[in-house]
Amino acid sequence: MSAVIAAALFAQLVVVGGDADLCLMKERAGAMPTGAMTVRELVELMARKECVRYLVPSHFLDRRVEVAPTKDWRRAAQSALAKQGISLRTENVQMLTGPPAPTPVSSDELDRAIRCKTPGHCVVERALVDRLLADPESIIAGARVIPAVGGGEIIGFKVYAILPQSLWARLGVANGDTIQTINGFELTSPEKALEAYTRLRSAAQLTVRIVRREQPLTFTYEIR
């Protein structure tokens, strides 16, 4: 659960593609991803031609790439992305299959899906986690997040302006908390947050290290 939150807010993940109607149109076999374009434009073309969705850190989307004209457009596209530090074979870009993202999770659904035994020890239904995985951008609502800096380096991210009935509040996160690690994964860059997201998405339990008013805390979330 918190891995989803961490990646969505720290790395600002954006879902590109996945529209079932568009990807099945004739245009899918039309325009080839060649020439100069942004990463967003390239990934949108690839998503349409492959009829899949991609999860991409937003800080990559406006970068310009040059895709060489060739019949092997996949290799050319991967080469152009690799020059920007993005590889479809690694966790920097995660391919997702399935239907478009569902509607945002309601307050009632959050109430039913999250049960906290004590503050910082909660049971979360797997169905809710799956909903959030399908639409990570929806998690952005309910709080504001900024990188937390210590000794001139990013040490995690600080959460504030948490709304009382938000997902954050239900998970026991408080204004001013700094979330540092999830199951030992440090959240010191968008890439590491995305690594946590991709590796922990199927975990049965998440252990989160938080610093609150300079005091370390450990939160545990059981996914059932």
CATH at 212: 2.30.42.10
Helix (H) or strand (E) holding 4: helix 2-10
Average of per-residue pLDDT across 146-169? 84
Average of per-residue pLDDT across 126-135? 78
Classify residue 97 by burial, with Cβ atoms within 10 Å: 0-12, 13-18, 19+: exposed
Q: What is the percent of the chain where pLDDT is above 70?
A: 71
* Per-residue confidence (pLDDT) for residue 219, from 0 to 100: 95
Contacts of 8 (CB under 8 A, 6+ apart): 132, 136, 137, 139, 140, 197
* Per-residue confidence (pLDDT) for residue 87, from 0 to 100: 60
Based on the structure, what is the number of domains in the chain? 2
Tell whether 157 is covered by a domain. yes
Residues 133 and 161 in one domain: yes
Give me the domain span that covers residue 147: 101-223
Other residues' Cβ atoms within 10 Å of the Cβ of residue 72: 10
Average of per-residue pLDDT across 79-92? 65
